[in-house]
A and B are shown apart, each in its own frame.
Chain A
């Protein structure tokens, strides 16, 4: 029996030749004196592995997993938004119900604001106050940056407040709930709900202000059978200037604009990875029709997940999350859509922030 055992063990060892232990990860810190882009990686849902990357644009070096490498743990589950506020980085972690404020030089947390339920997006008001929206509640949280305390909670009609934008002493807040046709208008000095603008369409989720100060609202939730629309409101009267309907089943997300606020971009997502309405779309703020073809089409079997425009040169940074079960690919395109660089970032790159 000993002979058989030995033969068995020898054969086992002979055919087992692949090293099991994974390769060690990089631990260097980026040089923050260089221009670059912070990339927030939301992580895989349920795995609590959200983290931060930095791309040094002077030499195109990518630094991944910065928070975990230097602090020892990840942000939490599904990081949603990152903002520069008072020389610190504020990160909302949606499924972990918290906001982390970290020192970008040391990657150590300065403070954690807990008990913010499903925080989504932030809008800084003069670096002294931050408004935070919430996915599952009908609250908008007002946080004082000096003390990190929630000093006021604004209640709105429906849960699911999403993107928000500050314009002329008002913050406009979208509401993604499938029954909500409302765009909330919050007066900034006193943080009161001034009014709720009734939109033509329900489930608004993105909002920007163009060069003419008109408010562009992207709405829709195909999963809940609410078709997508892009509605433009006059900044003073809130009358509808344009109302553009997307094709059925199209799912536009991540509305943003360049520095001049004359070109608008949004991502058309096709979750099955087919070519129909899948890619980055671009339109001028004077256009009266929606683009039919993507400005930058997504690759087959893929879809883009996030987009940001570099304010210094209007270059487009476009992330493909690669299915969220491997690292993301971040593409850098010139303003005319020519590919410049490709970077490998963390899991589920969801937000970019330039410095």
Chain B
């Protein structure tokens, strides 16, 4: 409660402080340039198994969570326990805990469970969402969420949006952004109340029935404040408070449920970054505080579990850069402990060295890193890697190869959960390799971008939970995976003209946009530590071998229409492929309308999900909604100079 009060105070104080500041376009630009100077090289040198969600995509998901946006617009597979329920990510067959989820540079995966529940991450809270499948040092890549200051350039000072879904979900989004020469502030509030009620044909009970006991409430408050101390020096604070309560509905096999879970999380990040005047040296210090509370309750079984956790991360980075070369020395530390439990903690610390060189003439880019960490519990293997790419300027082709080792340390639950925690666990250790092609072609009327990446990975000491009444995590020896991760995007200009309307130049382009995403993932146990295991050579549970998505749409300045198709292949629910869930195909239609009133730009959006009312289960027995409708409306004030800038 104290956290909430403190946060609300900060939130409204920031609102009051910034409401008096003028909306000065020029000032915003100044901020932007400075920020970009720090970030530009990193962007250029980033490896290309990296994909950033377009802001035009993100706006469709303002009232949705990361689950929805990633499910429809990336090669990630989301293991979904039902509408509004736990939802975890799998990139290239990885477990959710192997994929780092970074918010403003800090890994916000829960230190207890090791994973992030993406159904509790509203898209609208973030300015940028990126997927880095080959993130160095991470076994299963990373999801990168940020509220970068530079993005506020395009953000409206005030934004209000209301959403409604036919499953009984109501949501509200309010955001505010403002900046002066030295200060920049952004606040966002997200509230969602959902009944999550829909009717479905229950195959286990052969009757049409409603999904009961599925209500959920979610609140998110996010505030970003940054201050430019000098020309190349900036301090920023990011605070994110979230709280939720949800009833856990019965599976299709159960008549009723009395389970529910609720939790609250405070995440905060404090950053300071500076550069020398000649931009040759830069220092970046980042620390934070994360506090989590989680409670699960089953009143029928009179069962209640609670956990309280705090995490304190710290990062220090010194960068030496010159022309197209840079070298980083980084020291990081992370302390996590279960509160009210002595000796239930994990501390990791160690250095990371990285070096990168880019030759604009030859198009070669080389990056290498070495990372060593120590912990208070176990030996952590060293991490190292090499990335090499070659860009061909003439035809927009880039070839790259990426090889690195990665580590995931056991979580506090895996080590200490009672009953079942296994303090003898070793960290997971992987050898990752990828080989890829990026291709971009810009024509007069079209743009084509494609990523075609083959990957191979071997993970040793993969951690898996065994058991029924009592679950215990084990290192199950070795898991190998390989496959292909590909994406093809294209835009075609159907019509182009300029019109003069209300003192503003508006482009009247009519665009045809399409994207194909295809993921082929084979992930099998190659060596099991069990004496009698039938999992060797078999696909791991809940990793579809085939995943295909297609989006196509027409965008006009006033209207937008799009169609989404998704195929998800067989998903085994056991390690020996003896039980499985059937494949499913989904179709969705979306339409958007922009209207302008005297002072406001209004954006209407209508979405029809699961058009063919397909029955499917995200997880065994957990039914997903059939045909459902979503409607949202957003309001933004029209700023003349803002629009010119855009």
Contact = CB atoms under 8 A, between A and B. Distances in A.
A169 interface: no
B419 A46 contact: no
Contacts of A76: 253
Interface stretch (B332-340, B574-582, B602-610): B574-582
Interface string A49-93: 100000000000000000000000100111000000000000000
Interface residues of B, number: 63
A342 B529 contact: no
A42 interface: yes
B470 A223 contact: yes
A16 to B, nearest CB: 5
Contacts of A223: 418-419, 470
B520 A20 contact: no
Nearest to A78: B468
A22 B474 CA distance: 27
A22 B577 contact: yes
Nearest to B535: A326
Interface string B308-351: 00000000000000000000000000000000000000000000
B516 A327 contact: no
Contacts, number: 146
Contact of B488 (A8, A46, A73, A323): A8
Interface residues of A, number: 48
A4 B437 CA distance: 12
B646 interface: no
A222 B469 CA distance: 13
B532 A320 contact: yes
B486 interface: yes
A165 B518 CA distance: 59
Interface stretch (B178-186, B193-201, B445-453): B445-453
B422 A272 contact: yes
A149 to B, nearest CB: 21
A16 B484 contact: yes
Given A76-B253, A299-B530, A326-B533, A16 B468 contact: no
A91 to B, nearest CB: 15
A272 B534 contact: no
Contacts of B569: 20
Nearest to B300: A136
Contacts of A324: 466-468
B575 A326 contact: yes
B69 interface: no
B634 interface: no
Contacts of A45: 468-469
B85 interface: no
B415 to A, nearest CB: 11
B208 interface: no
Interface of B: 204, 251-254, 300-302, 418-420, 422, 424, 439, 441, 446, 448, 450, 452, 454, 464, 466-470, 472, 474, 476, 483-484, 486, 488, 490, 492, 516, 518, 520, 522, 529-535, 541, 545-546, 569-570, 572-580, 583, 620-621
Closest 9 CB pairs of A and B: A323-B466, A48-B253, A299-B531, A326-B576, A329-B532, A223-B419, A326-B575, A271-B472, A324-B468
Interface of A: 1, 4-5, 8, 11-12, 15-16, 18, 20-22, 42, 44-49, 73, 76-78, 96, 136, 222-223, 271-274, 299-302, 320-327, 329, 342, 344, 347-348
